């Protein structure tokens, strides 16, 4: 094992709530943390009533004491702002702080995130507390980062939010005539005569209204988050980062926009019932890394079990270790277990912990001890490394919302479709970034847009420029159907992109039975969705697949195309492919783009790579996500396995749930 000492790159930690315990009990907890090998704890994110027990009565000494005691045991702190848990005294004084639900009722105090994100009184109380915390804790050298709030998620339907929404629309559209025109409000006599008539959409409504409401929710959270960042930042040392802990594929707001003001993204990774699905989890890591296009943290992960699933089963022994290394391989620099110790009371009594209510380690503790040891000893191997990809999948919240509101087929799920494109690339161990369609595409050879249904001029120009520069672009079903008002383009799809595809969509069909598909490189079926394509530029466009006999409308018609555009190549896949066909299709697409997998690996083994940019040092993390021994064939180089301490050539044998961390032998 590498023993070289250096800057700590990999962190392992837990969420700790000293406010649940008498201070005399902290020392035994912290000694156990040190024994376990934790390097960081997150504290404070629900502690408002302990930090400010009554208005303006700030009580920070207890937290100073906890931070210092932890530091004495070589454990650093991530401090959360406690705004996810506004206290009873504040809610009593300002009942309007409580959010209003869809039925128009105030939500109940005491279940977290019970606030209206736009409440003036809440903003004022937050500003006072966060300012005081910034002034008091900002220069503390033992705090390495801050987390704003916790898992933003609530949507408020109060009159104040509605009024602000109307103001936002007025500012954007300037005139009601403009809004009425762009929203086609003549439909069902929705025409607005006054801004105050515009509702908050509840359930299905005008698509433009629904999209604007989502933008407004994003804007509201961003504003609230930004206020806290602006209060904190002037008091923090330069190297201290600010994050928010997102929740994977949750789509309550646009995560790219929310990440703009953060230094780093992080996410809370829970399996719930069952076991880790490595492909899905890899995609979620890639998604989170894409929010800032840089390394991230897993701010919460389950210590064996949760308390909220239908069956709160444990992970298999050894599974947590594979998950921890999967996260690191995908670009995480930290894994923090939620939580350290079972509180005696409170809503989450039965959630997994590292230490039980008696203060004694649970059996799972030993597994984390091994992970902590490995993280500590291998930290320097990962110094300055990050994931590098030549393939990007474009993920767009607006397109996702637009499709989810008008799925047209109950099984047409935006994320599932995106994952159907992701899965073959993952199986081929091809590194993939999942990014916003508005991010730079310069570093990519291959870009896939599974269902980029909303495009405007800027996006069209962006995609065109990528292909003009020789990029290979794959467009999936429902591409370029709508504009930023969630209105149809007055053209056949993919509107304004047909000069790139050389083909257009004549019609689309939701499928209640699978349709056979004959491809040039594969045979298979279309499921859920099928578009009937028409080639409009026959000189440089070829069909890639045609439909077999089915409903008559699709018989013998073109399902997929390929178009030469200068030095670039554009694919259009109008069919929602079965998994086998998709694998064959994308394998060929990747080969055409000159994109290769890292190593070939058997099913259930994933290979991740982090690269140190300045000298191109590569670190491979190989994780056997199966409970059987597996063998991975390597290339002609010899490698050092930093976990086993062995030198490897030819192949590597991985025990059940085995992990290897390889660098080329120098
Ligand atoms: Zn509200």
Residue 463's CATH number: 3.40.50.880
Residue 156 in marked binding region = yes
Q: 419, 280 in Cβ contact below 8 A?
A: yes
The count of other CB atoms within 10 Å of the CB of residue 568 is: 18
Q: How far apart are CA 503 and CA 517, in angstroms?
A: 18
Q: Is 308 annotated as a binding residue?
A: yes
Q: Is residue 185 part of a domain?
A: no
Give the CATH number of the domain where residue 131 resides: 3.20.20.80
Helix (H, G, I), strand (E, B) or coil at 290: helix
Query: What amino acid positions are annotated as catalytic residues?
Result: 151, 300
622-636 core/surface letters (b: 16 or more CB in 10 A; e: else): bbbbbeeebebebee
d(CA 18, CA 392): 42
HSE value, Cβ hemisphere, 13 Å, CA-based, for 109 = 12
- CA–CA separation, 652 and 634 (whole Å): 7
- Which secondary structure element, helix H or strand E, spans residue 219, and what is its range? helix 207-232
What is the Å distance from ligand 1's center to 529 Cα? Answer: 38
Helices 278-292 and 319-329 pack at an angle, to 10 degrees, of 30
Contact 291, 259 (CB under 8 A): yes
**Which positions ≥6 away from 577 have C-beta within 8 Å?**
420, 517, 524, 525, 526, 527, 585
* Same domain assignment for residues 415 and 484: yes
Residue ranges of the chain whose pLDDT lies below 70: 1-7
Structural domain contains residue 307:
yes
Q: E strands of 99-184, at which residues?
A: 143-147
Domain holding 38, by residue range, is: 11-157+200-383
Instruction: Note the pLDDT of residue 328.
Output: 98
Question: Do residue 253 and residue 299 come from a single domain?
Answer: yes
Within 10 Å of residue 165's Cβ, how many Cβ atoms? Answer: 24
User: Which residue has tokens 């931070």?
Assistant: 67
Full 3-state SS string of 337-399: ECCCECCCCCCCCCCCCCECCCCCECCCHHHHHHHHHHHHHHHHHHCCEECCCCEEEECCHHH
Q: Are residues 294 and 368 in the same domain?
A: yes
CA torsion sign for 309, 337, 43, 245 is: negative
Whether 620 and 558 share a structural domain: no
Contacting residues for 92 by C-beta, under 8 A, at least 6 apart: none
Question: How far apart are alpha carbons 643 and 378 in whole angstroms?
Answer: 8
* Domain final residue, candidates 383, 405, 438: 383
588, part of any domain: yes
Q: Which of 545, 567, 592 is the last residue of a domain?
A: 592
Is 192 domain-assigned?
Answer: no
Total domains present in the chain: 3
Non-local CB neighbours of 175 within 8 Å, separated by 6+ positions: none
Dist CA 643 CA 77 (whole Å): 28
Residue 564 and residue 639 share a domain: no
3-class state of residue 322 by DSSP: helix
Residue 18 pLDDT: 98
Distance CA 322, CA 117 (A): 38
Question: 522 and 609: one domain?
Answer: no
Q: From the CA of 154, how far away is ligand 1's center (Å)? A: 10
Distance 282 CA to ligand 1 centre (A): 35
Tokens 């055409």 correspond to 592
Q: What is the CATH number of the domain that holds 627?
A: 2.60.40.1180
Spatial CB neighbours of 2, under 8 Å, sequence gap ≥ 6: 377, 378, 380, 381, 642
How far, in Å, from the CA of 224 to the mean position of ligand 1?
13
DSSP-derived 3-state class of residue 534: strand
178 within some domain:
no
Distance 109 CA to ligand 1 centre (A): 15
Q: Are residues 326 and 416 in the same domain?
A: no
Distance of alpha carbon 124 from the chain centroid? 30
DSSP bridge pairs for 431: none
| Residue 253: both structure tokens together | 């707001």
Q: Which residues pair with 570 in a beta bridge?
A: 473, 563
**Spatial contact of 213 and 127, defined as CB atoms under 8 Å apart:** no
Q: Within its chain, how far is the Cα of 150 from the centroid?
A: 15
Would you state the pLDDT for residue 159? 98
The DSSP H or E segment spanning 571 is strand 568-573
294 vs 613: CA distance, rounded Å: 13
Question: How far is it, in rounded angstroms, from Cα 660 to Cα 643?
Answer: 6
Residue 5's pLDDT is 40
Place of tokens 């002037």: 234
Q: Are residues 365 and 405 in the same domain?
A: no
Token duo for residue 507? 């019609």
Classify strands 523-535 and 515-519 as parallel, antiparallel or unpaired.
antiparallel
Whether residue 664 contacts residue 619, with contact meaning beta carbons closer than 8 Å, is answered with: no
Instruction: Tell me: do 459 and 546 sit in the same domain.
Output: yes
> Do 460 and 497 contact (CB within 8 A), yes or no?
yes
The rounded Å distance from CA 79 to ligand 1 centre is: 27
Does 597 map to a domain? no
What number of other Cβ atoms are within 10 A of residue 646's Cβ? 11
Ligand 1 centroid from CA 482, angstroms: 30
Residue 409 lies in a domain: yes
Query: Which tokens go with 423?
Result: 């899965």
> Are 412 and 375 contained in the same domain?
no
Report how far ligand 1's centroid is from the alpha carbon of 122 (Å). Answer: 10
Residue 1 lies in a domain: no
Which residues have their alpha-adjacent CB atom under 5 A from ion ligand 1?
116, 156, 158, 161
For the chain, the C-alpha Rg in angstroms (whole number) is 26
Cα–Cα distance for residue pair 492/526, rounded to 1 Å: 21
Domain boundary among 340, 356, 383: 383
User: Distance, CA 214 to ligand 1 centroid (Å)?
Assistant: 14
Please indicate if the annotation marks 158 as binding a ligand.
yes
Kindly state the tokens that stand for 83.
């705004």
Tell me how far the alpha carbon of residue 299 lies from the centroid of ligand 1, in angstroms. Answer: 28
Q: What whole-number distance in Å separates Cα of residue 603 and Cα of residue 625?
A: 9
Judgement on whether residues 434 and 579 belong to the same structural domain of the protein: yes
Q: Give the tokens for residue 392.
A: 């990007």
Collect all residues with Cβ–Cβ distance below 8 Å to 189 and sequence separation of at least 6: none
Q: What are phi and psi of 661, to 5 degrees?
A: -125, 110
Q: What is the largest CA-CA distance in the chain?
A: 80
Predicted pLDDT at 7 = 64
Q: Are residues 423 and 537 in the same domain?
A: yes
What does the alpha-carbon distance between residue 394 and residue 452 come to, in Å, rounded to a whole number? 8
161 is in an annotated binding site: yes
Q: Supply the pLDDT for residue 420.
A: 98
């Amino acid at each position: 094992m590498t023993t070289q000492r250096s800057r700590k790159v990999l962190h392992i930690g837990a969420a700790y709530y000293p406010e649940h315990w008498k201070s005399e009990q902290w020392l035994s907890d912290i000694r156990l943390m040190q024994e376990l090998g934790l390097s960081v704890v997150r504290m404070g994110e629900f502690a408002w009533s302990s930090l400010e027990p009554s208005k303006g009565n700030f009580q920070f000494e207890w937290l100073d004491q906890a931070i210092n005691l932890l530091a004495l045991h070589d454990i650093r702190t991530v401090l959360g702002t406690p705004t996810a848990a506004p206290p009873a005294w504040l809610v009593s004084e300002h009942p309007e702080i409580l959010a209003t639900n869809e039925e128009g009722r105030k939500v109940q105090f005491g279940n977290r995130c019970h606030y209206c994100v736009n409440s003036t009184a809440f903003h004022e109380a937050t500003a006072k507390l966060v300012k005081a915390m910034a002034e008091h804790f900002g220069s503390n050298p033992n705090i390495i980062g801050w987390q704003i709030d916790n898992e933003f998620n609530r949507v408020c339907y109060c009159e104040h939010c509605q009024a602000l929404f109307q103001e936002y629309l007025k500012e954007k559209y300037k005139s009601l005539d403009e809004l009425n025109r762009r929203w086609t409000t003549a439909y069902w006599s929705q025409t607005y005569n006054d801004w105050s008539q515009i509702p908050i959409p509840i359930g299905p409504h005008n698509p433009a209204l629904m999209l604007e409401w989502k933008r407004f929710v994003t804007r509201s959270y961003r504003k609230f988050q930004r206020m806290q960042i602006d209060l904190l930042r002037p008091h923090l040392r330069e190297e201290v980062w600010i994050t928010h802990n997102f929740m994977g594929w949750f789509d309550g707001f646009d995560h790219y926009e929310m990440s703009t003001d953060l230094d780093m993204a992080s996410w809370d990774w829970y399996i719930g019932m069952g076991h880790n699905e490595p492909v899905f989890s890899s995609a979620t890591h890639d998604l989170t890394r894409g929010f800032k296009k840089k390394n991230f943290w897993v701010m919460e992960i389950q210590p064996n079990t949760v308390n909220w699933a239908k069956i709160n089963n444990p992970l298999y022994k050894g599974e947590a270790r594979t998950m921890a290394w999967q996260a690191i391989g995908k670009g995480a620099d930290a894994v923090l277990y939620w939580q350290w110790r079972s509180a005696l009371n409170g809503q989450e009594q039965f959630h997994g912990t590292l230490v039980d209510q008696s203060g004694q380690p649970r059996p799972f503790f030993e597994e984390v001890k091994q992970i902590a040891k490995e993280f500590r000893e291998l930290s320097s191997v990962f110094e300055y490394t990050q994931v590098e990809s030549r393939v990007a999948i474009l993920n767009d919240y607006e397109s996702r919302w637009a499709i989810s509101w008008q799925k047209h087929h109950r099984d047409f799920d935006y994320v599932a479709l995106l994952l159907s494109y992701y899965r073959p690339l993952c199986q081929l161990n091809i590194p993939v970034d999942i990014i916003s369609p508005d991010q730079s595409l310069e570093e990519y050879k291959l870009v896939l847009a599974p269902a980029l249904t909303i495009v405007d001029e800027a996006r069209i120009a962006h995609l065109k420029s990528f292909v003009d520069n020789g990029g290979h672009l794959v467009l999936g079903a429902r591409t370029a159907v709508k504009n930023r008002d969630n209105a149809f383009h007055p053209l056949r799809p993919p509107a304004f992109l047909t000069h790139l595809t050389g083909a257009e969509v004549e019609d689309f069909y939701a499928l209640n039975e699978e349709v056979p598909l004959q491809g040039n490189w594969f045979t298979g079926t279309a499921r859920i969705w099928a578009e009937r394509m028409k080639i409009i530029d026959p000189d440089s466009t070829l069909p890639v697949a045609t439909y077999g006999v089915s409903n008559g409308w699709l018989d013998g018609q073109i399902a997929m195309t390929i178009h030469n555009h200068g030095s670039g190549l554009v694919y259009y896949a109008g069919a929602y492919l079965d998994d086998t066909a998709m694998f064959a299709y994308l394998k060929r697409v990747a080969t055409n783009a000159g994109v290769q997998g890292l190593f070939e690996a058997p099913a259930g083994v994933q290979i991740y790579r982090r690269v140190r940019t300045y000298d191109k040092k590569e670190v491979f993390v190989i994780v056997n996500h199966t409970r059987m021994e597996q063998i991975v064939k390597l290339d002609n180089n010899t490698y050092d396995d930093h976990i086993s301490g062995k030198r490897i050539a030819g192949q590597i044998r991985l025990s059940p749930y085995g992990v290897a961390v390889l660098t080329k032998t120098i």
